[in-house]
């Protein structure tokens, strides 16, 4: 059995979960579910990043301790993820004792190996990014990402010898084209490495006189660890480093999911840190674009956040989840609007999928006594439907390997179209009114129930609740328990005649377009 280790970024606890955090977690959840259904031993990690100046700053503004803010907001993330049904295996907090211990152990190890030195540093620091900026990060005197002015800082600190590994890293990235993907981010990482003036060594400490909220350096009690050095190590703690029984297999299959804002720490700092620790680099860094609202990145500082719980309340989470997965092209930015969401849900879910489910099950109730009928002799039309299933499954497998979720969904919905067209051609509602057509109607309904079973299985990673409902209505509750489920999707003919089916209410009622404020 292969291992599969999937991570999201750990989110800062200075903000409530919004569409951006939700997207990365939906994406990772979908990939994790997909791997579980193919039989891989999957471990899915998410959590919160709690140390550092950003959090200390918000706590000070609100007059509470950083620990209190962390507890509150970490709970907000976890309970939101639970309400949305994400299938994470561990929710890690950087204040968890095993993580603090792992970070200190690694700091000591890297220090003992001579890879950390002490010096005075003078630079421009952005608290939003929690790092010293380079010229590339600044536009009109402001941090490009946070639109705030960085501060000039002179400080004595500990540095991690990063620059001596740039050549090795560039070689590793070149030699492994899917190490950082899609390609545009691989190229961006290589450009960062070429432009060495902007990188240098990594400052990994903060003096306690300025910041106390962090993990103390094991070799100097006057300093805490820089938040990114601490945060990246969560991926090791979460996998059970150093001696957890599954650590090695997990690490060998590690895939990180992040947005492009944190490319540099993941593409540059992290592989070099791993090399200093004596570990192999992760397997893949999967980098997606931003969700924008009115062409600006969603963020707390810009005040344009979309709450996943509000979306769940308004549209149901599966509809929101579907929109996020279907409308973002992996690697590119996407614009969020409720109009686009409603249009997508109405066309794909209410019309195509919803219609196929309701007419198949309504006709099975009406013409076959609410049981899957026995399949009679088949013809070329049925053969076409049966042949379309492995084609769709093959495309799904291929696109999922590359994280091209929108294309995987496109392939499943092409299959939905094939079955809808088949029903139009066979028109069992007309055939049923004629004499001697019982077998034809039964075969048509068998074929559509069977295709629907396959579609529901294929959809399980993307729309887990909808998939479970369709299977339940086909009398196949529990079909998703167990391994190698996706192989069942391609095994045409598994539906058994006589299995009781239920009609049920519309899966996705048509949504009204959102009221316009200027209307």
Binding segment toward ligand MSP, per CB under 6 A, in 76-84, 289-297, 393-401, 499-507: 289-297
- On whether the CB atoms of residues 137 and 145 are closer than 8 A, the answer is yes
- On whether the CB atoms of residues 354 and 502 are closer than 8 A, the answer is no
Q: In what order do the strands lie in the sheet with 216-217?
A: 205-207, 220-225, 216-217
Long-range contacts for 126-135 (Cβ within 8 Å, ≥24 apart)? 126/150, 126/151, 127/53, 127/54, 127/57, 127/151, 128/54, 128/301, 130/52, 130/53, 130/54, 130/226, 130/227, 130/228, 131/228, 132/203, 134/197, 134/198, 134/199, 135/198
- On whether the CB atoms of residues 133 and 244 are closer than 8 A, the answer is no
Compute the distance between CA of residue 421 and CA of residue 417 in angstroms, rounded to an integer: 6
Q: Indicate which single residue of 103, 169, 262, 409 sits in contact with ligand MSP (rule: CB under 6 A).
A: 262
x/- binding map, residues 472-491, to ligand MSP, per CB under 6 A? --------------------
Active site residue 146: yes
Return the H-helix or E-strand segment holding 138.
strand 138-139
**Does 11 sit near ligand MSP (CB under 6 A)?**
yes
Binding segment toward ligand MSP, per CB under 6 A, in 20-28, 102-110, 134-142, 177-185: 20-28
Active site residue 129: yes
Task: Identify the DSSP state of 442.
Answer: H
Residues 6+ apart with CB under 8 A from 131: 125, 228
Active site residue 406: no
Q: Report the nearest approach of ligand MSP to the CB of residue 297 (Å).
A: 5
Active site residue 300: yes
Query: Of 51, 256, 297, 399, which residue is the catalytic one?
Result: 297
- Choose between 20 and 271: whose C-beta lies nearer to ligand MSP: 20
**Does 259 sit near ligand MSP (CB under 6 A)?**
yes
- Choose between 12 and 508: whose C-beta lies nearer to ligand MSP: 12
- On whether the CB atoms of residues 276 and 160 are closer than 8 A, the answer is yes
- On whether the CB atoms of residues 493 and 450 are closer than 8 A, the answer is yes
Binding segment toward ligand MSP, per CB under 6 A, in 4-12, 196-204, 306-314, 490-498: 4-12
Helix (H, G, I), strand (E, B) or coil at 13: coil
x/- binding map, residues 296-325, to ligand MSP, per CB under 6 A? -xxx--------------------------
Query: Of 4, 18, 256, 288, which residue is the catalytic one?
Result: 18
Query: Of 129, 203, 375, 449, which residue is the catalytic one?
Result: 129
x/- binding map, residues 331-370, to ligand MSP, per CB under 6 A? ----------------------------------------
Compute the distance between CA of residue 438 and CA of residue 441 in angstroms, rounded to an integer: 5
Residues 6+ apart with CB under 8 A from 275: 165, 168, 281
Burial of residue 331 (number of CB atoms within 10 Å: 0-12, 13-18, 19+): middle
Active site residue 172: no
Residues 6+ apart with CB under 8 A from 251: 5, 236, 239, 241, 279, 280, 282
Q: Report the nearest approach of ligand MSP to the CB of residue 381 (Å).
A: 43
Q: Report the nearest approach of ligand MSP to the CB of residue 70 (Å).
A: 12
Q: CB 519: neighbour CB atoms within 10 A?
A: 5
x/- binding map, residues 182-221, to ligand MSP, per CB under 6 A? ----------------------------------------
Q: Which residue is nearest to ligand MSP (CB)?
A: 20
Tokens at 148, concatenated: 């705030």
**Does 12 sit near ligand MSP (CB under 6 A)?**
yes
Return the H-helix or E-strand segment holding 490.
helix 485-490
Burial of residue 152 (number of CB atoms within 10 Å: 0-12, 13-18, 19+): exposed
**Does 231 sit near ligand MSP (CB under 6 A)?**
yes
Task: Identify the DSSP state of 135.
Answer: G
Q: Indicate which single residue of 20, 47, 308, 428 sits in contact with ligand MSP (rule: CB under 6 A).
A: 20
Q: Report the nearest approach of ligand MSP to the CB of residue 267 (Å).
A: 12
Return the residues of window 49-68 that contact ligand MSP according to CB under 6 A: 49
**Does 21 sit near ligand MSP (CB under 6 A)?**
yes
Query: Of 4, 126, 375, 449, which residue is the catalytic one?
Result: 126
Return the residues of window 33-52 that contact ligand MSP according to CB under 6 A: 49
**Does 258 sit near ligand MSP (CB under 6 A)?**
yes
- Choose between 76 and 391: whose C-beta lies nearer to ligand MSP: 76
**Does 261 sit near ligand MSP (CB under 6 A)?**
yes
Q: Which residue has tokens 């600190």?
A: 157
Kindly list the residues in this chain that would bind ligand MSP in the complex (CB under 6 A).
9-12, 20-21, 23-24, 49, 231-232, 234, 258-259, 261-262, 290-291, 297-299
Q: What is the set of active-site residues?
A: 18, 21, 126, 129, 143, 146, 297, 300
């Amino acid at each position: 059995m292969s291992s599969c280790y999937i991570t999201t970024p750990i989110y800062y606890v200075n903000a409530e979960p919004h569409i951006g955090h939700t997207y990365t977690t939906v994406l990772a959840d979908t990939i994790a579910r997909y791997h579980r259904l193919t039989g891989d031993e999957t471990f899915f990690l998410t959590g919160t990043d709690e140390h550092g100046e950003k959090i200390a700053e918000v706590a000070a503004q609100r007059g509470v301790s950083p620990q209190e803010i962390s507890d509150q907001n970490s709970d907000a993330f976890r309970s939101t993820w639970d309400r949305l049904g994400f299938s994470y295996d561990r929710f890690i907090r950087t204040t968890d004792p095993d993580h603090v211990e792992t970070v200190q152990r690694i700091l000591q190890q890297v220090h003992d190996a001579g890879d950390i030195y002490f010096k005075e540093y003078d630079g421009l620091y952005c608290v939003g990014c929690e790092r010293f900026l380079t010229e590339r990060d600044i536009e009109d005197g402001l941090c490009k990402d946070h639109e705030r002015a960085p501060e000039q800082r002179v400080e004595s600190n500990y540095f991690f010898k990063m620059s001596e590994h740039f050549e090795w890293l560039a070689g590793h990235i070149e030699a492994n084209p899917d190490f950082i993907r899609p390609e545009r981010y691989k190229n961006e990482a290589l450009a960062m490495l070429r432009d060495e003036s902007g990188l240098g060594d990594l400052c990994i400490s903060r003096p306690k006189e300025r910041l106390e909220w962090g993990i103390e350096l094991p070799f100097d009690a006057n300093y805490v660890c820089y938040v990114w050095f601490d945060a990246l190590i969560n991926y090791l703690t979460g996998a059970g480093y150093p001696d957890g029984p599954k650590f090695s297999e997990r690490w060998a299959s590690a895939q990180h999911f992040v947005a492009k804002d944190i490319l540099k720490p993941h593409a540059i700092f992290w592989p070099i840190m791993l090399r200093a620790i004596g570990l192999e680099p992760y397997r893949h860094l999967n980098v997606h674009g931003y969700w924008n609202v009115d062409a600006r990145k969603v963020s707390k500082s810009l005040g344009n956040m979309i709450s996943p719980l509000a979306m769940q309340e308004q549209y149901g989470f599966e509809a929101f989840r579907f929109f996020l997965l279907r409308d973002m092209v992996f690697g590119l930015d996407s614009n969020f609007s409720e109009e686009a969401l409603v249009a997508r849900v109405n066309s794909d879910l209410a019309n195509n999928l919803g219609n196929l489910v309701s007419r198949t099950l309504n006709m099975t109730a009406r013409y076959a006594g609410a049981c899957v009928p026995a399949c009679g002799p088949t013809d070329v039309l049925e053969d076409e439907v049966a042949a379309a299933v492995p084609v769709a499954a093959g495309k799904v497998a291929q696109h999922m390997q590359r994280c091209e979720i929108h294309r995987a969904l496109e392939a499943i919905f092409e299959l939905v179209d094939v079955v809808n067209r088949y029903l139009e051609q066979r028109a069992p509602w007309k055939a049923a009114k004629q004499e001697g057509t019982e077998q034809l109607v039964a075969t048509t309904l068998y074929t559509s129930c069977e295709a629907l079973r396959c579609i529901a299985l294929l959809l399980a990673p993307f729309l887990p609740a909808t998939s479970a409902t369709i299977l339940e209505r086909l009398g196949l509750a529990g079909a998703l328990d167990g391994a190698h489920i996706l192989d069942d999707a391609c095994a045409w003919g598994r539906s058994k005649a006589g299995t009781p089916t239920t009609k049920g209410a519309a899966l996705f009622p048509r949504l009204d377009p959102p009221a316009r404020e200027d209307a």
